[in-house]
Amino acid sequence: MKYTTLRHAIVEAEKQHGLHELDFMMRELLHAITHAHVNNEPMRVSHLMRNSAHGTFPTISAKLKKLVDGGWVERRGDDQDRRSVLLEATPKTLATFDLISNLIESSTGNSEPSS
């Protein structure tokens, strides 16, 4: 599959699942949350706040609210620390990322896409 065909397929998959509506920062936050989720690592809001590249507290908080409202991320209480909030990727997010990963894998012949 040529790059332009792959890119077109990815753009269409993003549109079909609503990922195209997310801005760059929301995609970065979603990637970090999903990465932690698939690696069975807890992702706390406080972890995202430590990385200044993600923005200020109000910016991150607003972006997370949009991700939650859009069904991309779930917030859960932390049983070990009641003050913390855990973030998890939803089935919608995992399915969308799997679809895009499969498109990349099928176009490159690799079993694991490079990150």
pLDDT at position 115, please?
46
Q: Is the pTM of this model over 0.85?
A: no
First to last CA, the chain: 19
Cα angle, residue 53 at apex, residues 94 and 34 outer, rounded to 5°? 10
Q: Where are the domains of the chain?
A: 3-108
pLDDT at position 4, please?
67
Residues in the chain: 115
Taking the C-alpha atoms of residue 70 and residue 79, their distance in angstroms, rounded to an integer, is 25
Q: Which fold has domain 3-108?
A: Arc Repressor Mutant, subunit A (1.10.10)
Regions of the chain with pLDDT less than 70: 1-4, 6, 108-115
